[in-house]
Amino acid sequence: MKIQKSKRSGSRDRLSELPDSLIFNIFELLPMNDVVKTTILSKRWKDLWTTVPFLNFTDSSFRYDPDISSARNFVNRALILWKGIKILKFTIDFRSRYGHYTSLLTDDLNVWVRWAKQKEVEEIHLRIKDDYEPYQLSECLYSCSSLKVLVLSLNEISLWSIPGNIKCDRLKSLTIDSLYCDFNQKFISQALRGSPKLEVFNLTLHERGSVFIQSSSLKKLSIRKPRYETDKELKIVTPNLETLEILGSPYRRCVLSGSSSLTDVTLRFQEHKSWYNSIEHENLSAASCEHDCGETLSQILPSIRHVEKLKLSPWCIEVLERTNKQHLLLRPYFIVREPLKFAGRRVSCFDDRVKRIMPSSRPSHS
């Protein structure tokens, strides 16, 4: 009897017995072309992919094709066959190969984004690699009542032209990660004003000019400025901010207002000699960069003495020493080590020891 029961059990289609929620959790971890391939695993799975609320399109599975047309055609076909009601997460990740993707995909990207908006999408992740063509953000995203998370990771993005006011009532997280970002202060102001529930704002800056961040809803703010520009000023007015990260090159002037809620601050200013050795920045010098770093630290550190965790890069510590400003650190802090690469991604590491610097002492850089 036990043997017969085992045979009957072995003949069951266990994949078909899995609940939809578990199957969708599996699908969420896979690129869409692999999700489609699961139709051969079970009769019940044959059309299940057409209702999955997580659509993750990546060109990595098409890397052997000579151009982008196969990946583009796959996305268009999948969207036509999709029969679901609502999209929770929509991802376009075309970064695995070099190419002029933006110029080839601009119209397609806008069609795909509008399609996702019609399906009441909650998360949109656009990751495109193109060394030549900027992507003009689709106008439909300036007003999207369902959107909660927006991630724009592109080599170059244009956010200069704003058709009317930005209105994203449910947006909680906004990330603009771009090597070259063409926009003005008006975009930042309207994005913050039009997103009253925004809690997380990650911004990478490359353009010239000052930046003003004002929001009563923000809880986490991360600003990265890879290039050193002498005319850069940063003003932050965020009364409910809990976590602040300022990364990259220093600012000429930095104003931090309403910082009483801050508990975690990272200041990872870095010295890059290429900034002032290149022809483009031939008038810059190591001294001016160091001066700006010292001024920025002098303006920020006195206003964050109450934070629970302060993380500083080694160069920040060196600048404080050379400028005799150790007195600004009469409290414990962590030293931020240089980012490491793990699984192809840069990961920031922190010393596991809490170090203390006093006016009459010198910090250890072991």
Measuring CA to CA, which residue among 143, 97, 90, 78 is closest to residue 116?
90
Fill in the amino acid letter for 290: E
Sign of the torsion formed by the C-alpha atoms of 25, 26, 27 and 28: positive
The CA angle 325-227-323, to the nearest 5 degrees, is 10
Q: What are the tens digits of pLDDT across the range 199-257?
A: 999 988 766 567 889 999 999 999 988 776 666 788 999 999 999 999 888 888 888 98
Tokens found for residue 364: 């250890």
CA dist list (Å): 74 to 38, 86, 153, 361: 16, 20, 22, 63
Do 267 and 303 form a contact (C-beta atoms < 8 A)?
no
Q: How confident is the model at residue 343 (pLDDT cuts 50, 70, 90)?
A: very low
CB neighbours of residue 272 within 10 Å: 15
- DSSP assigned state of 88: S
Tell how far CA 314 is from the center of its chain: 24
Q: What are the tens digits of pLDDT across the range 110-121?
A: 899 999 999 999
- DSSP assigned state of 160: -
Three-class secondary structure of residue 307 per DSSP: coil
Tokens found for residue 54: 């997580």
Tokens found for residue 116: 């996702």
Burial degree of 206 (CB within 10 A; 0-12, 13-18, 19+) = middle
Instruction: Note the pTM of the prediction, 2 decimals.
Output: 0.81
Measuring CA to CA, which residue among 275, 271, 295, 363 is closest to residue 326?
363
- 278 has a pLDDT exceeding 70: no
